[in-house]
Amino acid sequence: MTLALSPAMRDRMESWLIHLGSLRGRADATVDAYRRDLTDFLAFQARHSPEAIGPAALCALSASDMRAWMAAQRGRGVGSRSLARRLSAVKSFYRWWADCDDFDATPILSMRSPKQGRRLPRPLSVAAARDVIAAAGALDARDWVSARDVAILTLLYGCGLRRSEALGLDAGLLPLGDTLRIRGKGSKEREVPVLPAARAAVARYAMVCPHDLSPGKPLFRGIRGGPLNGRLVAGVMEQARMQLGLPATATPHALRHSFATHLLDAGGDLRAIQELLGHASLSTTQAYTAVDAARLLEVYAATHPKA
């Protein structure tokens, strides 16, 4: 996209992006997304300016200018979550810029993000969860790779682990006991029970893995022996779901959702499930009760006799 920006404005934009990547430590993909979002915002402002838009014009934007941009985004079909992310990028830029050049960015920073409905988890059925793990075990001709993929997915589903938590396990935990102590988000620790199926899957992987699994080494390894990349786990799940005809929502994280939902279906206590998942707030775990209610409504709609 070619922007009619003044040289001074281009310099500020590039300085902000460098600040994000170098000083704030944002990932390259995040910086690229922020660049696209800010470029889109500036392009909208440039279309409403008769000449190359510079710092003075952009400093003088009003709340009504911001509302016009947000309305245009809505008109293009941009959803609440995407618009909130774009507004966040614009605010981040203006916050940094206002600190650098000492101007009042209140009209931009005071804009409220659009309300977002809580996104419900998308669990798999019990049968689909089992099928996807079995399918993952048949994707690679190398026995140890197949065993590794089955072990990881079994831990996600059988213990409710996040993908990063499973990949962060140390080989010194072998052989797995009846419980695992997991350090999750915010360094919050929790203890989760390990089902016999998960212990057996990890033991089988450890038996055939060609790499050194001594204490201090990562439990799950890539082909060359380094720590396994999380994207490869997502790729395995994608291949398995495509083979089974499952929706795109059947991701590694969906196995964790399935763990929680199936526990709730079996009469599990919400507080206990919160502890097992490592949620800081019970309100996060309560999303699974909405899933349960939604499923009941689907069954009702499909089976209730019509008048």
CA distance 59 to 16: 15
- Check if the beta carbon of residue 139 is closer than 8 Å to that of residue 149: yes
In this structure, the answer to whether residues 205 and 263 fall within a common structural domain is yes
Residue 35 within a domain: yes
In this structure, the answer to whether residues 100 and 179 fall within a common structural domain is no
The pTM score is 0.57
Answer yes or no: is pLDDT of 80 > 70: yes
What local confidence, expressed as pLDDT, does residue 174 receive?
93
Domain total for the chain?
Answer: 2
Residue 2 within a domain: no
Phi, psi of 268 (to 5 degrees): -65, 145
Q: Which of 96, 111, 27, 17 is nearest to 61 (CA)?
A: 111
**Arithmetic mean of pLDDT, 270-286:** 57
Residue 115 within a domain: no
pLDDT digits (tens, 9 = 90+) for 113-168: 877 655 555 788 889 999 999 999 999 999 999 999 999 999 998 888 889 899 99
Q: Which two tokens stand for residue 272?
A: 């206990």
Range of the domain at 180: 126-303
Residue 305: band (very low, low, confident or very high) from pLDDT cuts 50, 70, 90: low
Q: Which CATH number goes with the domain that contains 298?
A: 1.10.443.10
Catalytic positions:
162, 185, 253, 256, 279, 288
Residue 294: band (very low, low, confident or very high) from pLDDT cuts 50, 70, 90: very low
Separation in Å, CA 43 to CA 28, 48, 71, 126? 22, 9, 15, 48
Q: Which of 119, 117, 67 is nearest to 90 (CA)?
A: 67
In this structure, the answer to whether residues 182 and 260 fall within a common structural domain is yes
What local confidence, expressed as pLDDT, does residue 151 receive?
96
In this structure, the answer to whether residues 206 and 291 fall within a common structural domain is yes
| Helix ranges restricted to H, 160-251 | 163-167, 196-208, 230-244
> Where among 109, 140, 163 does a domain terminate?
109
In this structure, the answer to whether residues 191 and 253 fall within a common structural domain is yes
In this structure, the answer to whether residues 102 and 204 fall within a common structural domain is no
